[in-house]
Each structure stands twice: as C-alpha cells, then as structure tokens.
C-alpha cells in the first residue's frame, strides 16, 4: 500500500492510498479518483516525501513553541460537512457492501460511491485485495 499526495485542478490537496503507482494511474484513467472537496476527477500527483527510518528515537514531546495547533472549529465543521456530503451522495447498498465494492473494483459494475455495512474482517479482506474502503461514522453521528 502506498500513500500519494494528490491535487485536483482547483488546487485542493489531499492524500490517496493505493495498492501501487500503477493502481493509482489505472483508477485515475477510469475516473475513479475524485477530489474529496469539490468532486473533480482531474487529479495530479504531488511530490511525496519518502519515509526514512534513521533508527533515532522520536522525542516523546515536541517543544511547546513547535507543537502543532489543535484543529479549530472551522476544520471540524468542514470535515463534518464533507462526511455528510459523502453520505448523501453515496448509494446505500446495505449488507451487500463487500459484494458491491468487489464488483465495482473488478469492473463488473460501473464506478459509483457506495455505502453500507461490513464487518471488520470483511473490511480487512477488501483492503488486502487492494479495494480501498473507509469506515465512517453512521449518519446519526454526523450531527
């Protein structure tokens, strides 16, 4: 699994997780990679910093002046709005989620956003197959 820094035509930056660089290219070409902010499918890769394990220990706490700021209310409200949009714009396939996700991934059904129920084991199996899924809170938890 690789993590890529991505950007849409409107300069919204986001990350994407893919089985490989080829998987990213294939999904992009098929219009299956979409900006989570505006929905654009015109996506480009941005430089990604490699992770290098130097063996040095990580400090347990950053100095106070360098500690990252806590997310503000605007960040949280934007994230909740995005989650609500994802829920609204996705077809609820219920308990058929794993089956439908596989059919979309393997090209048996047209790509589209779906939501539904899956057990933790089913989610793990989908991820092992390179099918990206994201567990989200239920609709009632987004208010």
Give the pLDDT confidence score for residue 72 in this predicted structure.
59
CA 85 to chain centre: 14
Q: What is the pLDDT along the chain (143 residues), one digit of tens a residue?
A: 688 889 999 999 888 888 888 889 999 999 999 988 888 999 999 876 555 445 555 454 444 444 454 555 667 777 777 777 777 888 899 999 999 999 999 999 888 888 889 888 898 889 888 888 877 766 555 55
Rounded Cα distance, 23 and 17, in Å: 10
Residue 67: the pLDDT is 46
Q: How far apart are CA 21 and CA 122, in angstroms?
A: 24
Please give the pLDDT value at position 56. 52
């Amino acid at each position: 699994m690789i993590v890529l820094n991505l950007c849409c035509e409107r300069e919204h930056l986001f990350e994407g997780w893919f089985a490989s660089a080829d998987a990213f290219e294939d999904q992009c070409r098929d219009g299956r990679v979409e900006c989570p902010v505006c929905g654009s499918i015109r996506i480009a890769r941005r430089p990604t910093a490699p992770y290098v394990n130097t063996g040095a220990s990580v400090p347990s706490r950053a100095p106070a002046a360098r500690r990252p700021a806590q997310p503000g209310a605007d960040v949280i409200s934007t994230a909740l709005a995005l989650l609500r949009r994802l829920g609204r714009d996705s077809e609820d396939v219920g308990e058929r989620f794993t089956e439908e996700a596989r059919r979309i991934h393997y090209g048996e059904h047209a790509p589209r956003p779906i939501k539904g129920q899956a057990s933790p084991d089913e989610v793990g199996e989908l991820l092992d197959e390179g099918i990206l899924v994201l567990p989200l809170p239920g609709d009632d938890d987004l208010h």
